[in-house]
Amino acid sequence: MPELPEVETTLRGIEPYLLNQTIQGVVVRQPRLRWPVAEEVSALAGQRVTGLSRRGKYLLVQFATGTAVWHLGMSGSLRLVKEEEDPRIHDHIDWVLESGWILRYHDPRRFGALLWQPPGEQLSQIASLGPEPLLAETLSGLSAESLYQRSRGKKQAIKLFIMDNHTMVGVGNIYANESLFMAGIRPTTAAGKISKPRFARLLACIRQVLAQAIEQGGTTLRDFVNSDGNPGYFAQQLQVYGRGGKPCRVCEAVLYEIRQGQRATVYCPTCQK
């Protein structure tokens, strides 16, 4: 499913085409997504996009009257297409722009969403999110110290701890696997047993892995294409995710694969302690 780097890649891809553009029309072919498509979306015709941003995995598109909030769900993608390109099956929403481009939302599983946030308000889905790992500590409040203190006494596995959106946002399954491998931490270790220096190392690795993935366009997944229709490339450099039973690229030990929180976890029994 699209994770933080895929969402950030999408944001950077669509921003030049949307910013300061006026929406000429909205087409909703399927209003029943994870949550019903917000009624306010149908009234966007004639409104101008004043800004775009990201919060966790949510894409925020600002207008004078409020903010449209996209979530890509498990299989969603936003692409820019020309008016003459006919919609495909599972192309659920179009924003027709004055430039002649169309922002088109594609979602086979329909687990994404298009919500509305009135001025001065914050959706409950966004208000509950933890700090952003890619923002500076002074802006996000996220630090090795804060992670260390939050983890004290917790028996929860470290992988599930860093994937919790209340701990921090955007560390999905792929990047949790990769960050823990880079940090040399076994994903089954209780969060409460991780020392402060190891949390410092882990946080640095999380930031490095996410930044690298964004730089390279996100992870290539079957359901994800970025805004220009091309897949990302970070999957070519994955060290452990999807490689259970294969040799570790560092020590050549066989990688273990287990289930945690109904998700696949892959780790090296030698490199990760």
**Phi-psi group of 92: left, alpha or beta (phi > 0 → left; psi -120 to 50 → alpha; rest → beta):** alpha
Whole-angstrom distance, CA of residue 107 vs CA of residue 90:
6
Query: From the candidates 55, 57, 186, 201, which is the catalytic residue?
Result: 57
Q: Which whole number is the average pLDDT over 141-163? A: 97
Whole-angstrom distance, CA of residue 45 vs CA of residue 244:
49
Burial of 244 (0-12, 13-18, 19+ CB in 10 A): middle
Residue 147 three-state SS:
helix
pLDDT in tens, 187-242: 999 999 999 999 999 999 999 999 998 888 766 554 455 666 666 656 667 999 99
Binding-site residues from annotation: 90, 109, 154
Residue the block writes with tokens 């209780």 = 190
Catalytic status, residue 207: no
In sequence order, the β-bridge partners of residue 247 are 254
Binding-site residues from annotation for DNA: 90, 109, 154
Task: Please give the DSSP secondary-structure letter assigned to residue 169.
Answer: S
Contacts of 9 (CB under 8 A, 6+ apart): 214, 217, 218, 226, 227, 232
Residue 164 three-state SS:
coil
Residue the block writes with tokens 């696997």 = 177
Using a CB cutoff of 8 Å and minimum separation of 24, what contacts does 264-267 make? 264/173, 265/159, 265/177, 265/187, 265/188, 266/177, 266/240, 266/241, 266/242, 267/177, 267/180, 267/181, 267/186, 267/187, 267/188, 267/240
Q: How far is CA 254 from CA 225, 240, 271, in A?
A: 31, 11, 11
Q: Which whole number is the average pLDDT over 91-106? A: 96
pLDDT at 40 > cutoff 90: yes
Catalytic status, residue 2: yes
Nearest-10 crossing angle of helices 196-215, 144-151: 120
Identify the pLDDT of residue 75. 87
Identify the pLDDT of residue 229. 62
Whole-angstrom distance, CA of residue 259 vs CA of residue 268:
14
Backbone φ, ψ for residue 172 (5° rounding):
-80, -170
Alpha-helical regions (H) of the chain? 4-18, 124-127, 137-140, 144-151, 158-163, 173-183, 196-215
In angstroms and rounded to an integer, the radius of gyration of the C-alpha atoms of the chain is 20
Catalytic status, residue 3: yes
Whole-angstrom distance, CA of residue 269 vs CA of residue 186:
8
pLDDT at 147 > cutoff 70: yes
In the predicted model, what is the mean pLDDT of the chain?
Answer: 92
Identify the pLDDT of residue 138. 76
Query: From the candidates 3, 6, 8, 178, which is the catalytic residue?
Result: 3
Q: Which whole number is the average pLDDT over 93-108? A: 95
Task: Please give the DSSP secondary-structure letter assigned to residue 114.
Answer: E
pLDDT in tens, 41-95: 989 999 999 999 999 999 999 999 999 999 999 889 999 999 889 999 999 999 9
Identify the pLDDT of residue 234. 67
Identify the structural domains of the chain with CATH numbers, from first to last.
Answer: 4-127 (3.20.190.10), 137-267 (1.10.8.50)
Catalytic status, residue 263: yes
Segment of 31-40, 164-173, 182-191 carrying the highest mean pLDDT:
182-191
Nearest CA-CA partner of 172 in 60, 15, 7, 44: 7
